Amino acid sequence: MMRVLDGIKVINLAVNLPGPAAAQRLSRMGAEVIKVEPPAGDPMECYFADWYRAMAAGHTVVKLDLKVPEGKRILLDLLGSADVLITATRPSAMARLGLDVETLQDLFPRLCQVMITGYPAPRDNEAGHDLTYQASMGLVDPPHMPRTLLSDMAGSELAVSAVLALLFNRERCGNGGHQVVPLSEAVAAFAEPLRFGSTLPGASLGGGIPEYNIYKTLDGWVAVAALEPHFKQRLEDALNIATFEGYRAAFAGQSSDYWQEWGKELDLPIETVR
């Protein structure tokens, strides 16, 4: 990745997932990252230690109690030479600490602040997590839990975009700024295919057409995504099929790895379901 952020210093106050994931992306772009954790550390280290270490790789980790004057003083000293601040604490809690966005902007006019929240104002102090944000967008299929933390990962990418936009704007106008990244809105963008009906059961991208579907093989499943007409034509000509029944019968006759290699040879999008 291009190190376009060489010389940029990021202070990350966020724990758990979205903030640290965003900070890691910025680090890979060349930024220096100082991760400020509470005295008890980041809960992520207890849940998924390997993932925590991967996200904190190359960062300087400092433990501070921001509820005591000395901890707050050290943080303000760090912010004095920082370009970016990432937070994921509720705005009301930041205000109680005297670290609200307005106060920090007055103290550090060139600071670019990205605040990750659960919901946009006026709900920005409500509790939530990835599961509840996905549930609110119709992305949970009970009784199954989500296969990935989509809200958190989408939020981390929006946080990175917000940092880059604020830094770019600072180059033009000289001052920093702030941007709120609500996780519920981050996942809402990823729910657009569902909202417009394209991935609903029976829709064209929801299992309604044979050329874009999953099929049982001798030893598992394959994903077939021959959506474009030239892919569909090549696939159906090669296998002499045209219906769901034909597709199912054809793919059931060989292993998943066979079909993946076969797809590569014919330049067709076929992948084993891992």
Q: What is the pLDDT of residues 35-71, one digit of tens each?
A: 999 999 999 999 999 999 999 999 999 999 999 999 9
The neighbouring-strand residues paired with 62 are: 36
Does 98 score more than 80 pLDDT? yes
The neighbouring-strand residues paired with 216 are: 221
Does 5 score more than 70 pLDDT? yes
- Architecture label for domain 9-193: 3-Layer(aba) Sandwich (3.40)
DSSP category for residue 7: T
3-state secondary structure of 33: strand
Considering the chain, tell me which residue range(s) the CATH 3.40.50.10540 domain(s) occupy: 9-193
Query: Residue 2: its pLDDT value, please?
Result: 77
Does 1 score more than 80 pLDDT? no
Distances (CA, A) of 202 to 143, 206, 208, 213: 20, 5, 4, 11
Question: Hey, what are 201's tokens?
Answer: 């059961």
Query: Residue 187: its pLDDT value, please?
Result: 94
Mean pLDDT of 101-107: 97
How much is the pTM?
0.89
Q: What is the pLDDT of residues 138-172, one digit of tens each?
A: 999 999 999 999 999 999 999 999 999 999 999 99
Q: Say how far apart CA 31 and CA 24 lie, in whole Å.
A: 9
Q: What is the pLDDT of residues 213-247, one digit of tens each?
A: 999 999 999 999 999 999 999 999 999 999 999 99
Per-residue confidence band for 85, with pLDDT thresholds at 50, 70 and 90: very high
In the chain, the percentage of residues whose pLDDT exceeds 90 is 99
Cα 250 to chain centroid distance, Å, stands at 37
Distances (CA, A) of 249 to 218, 227, 255: 11, 20, 13
Per-residue confidence band for 263, with pLDDT thresholds at 50, 70 and 90: very high
Q: Say how far apart CA 36 and CA 100 lie, in whole Å.
A: 16
233: how many CB neighbours lie within 10 A of its CB? 12
Nearest one of 106, 111, 109 to 85, comparing CA atoms: 111
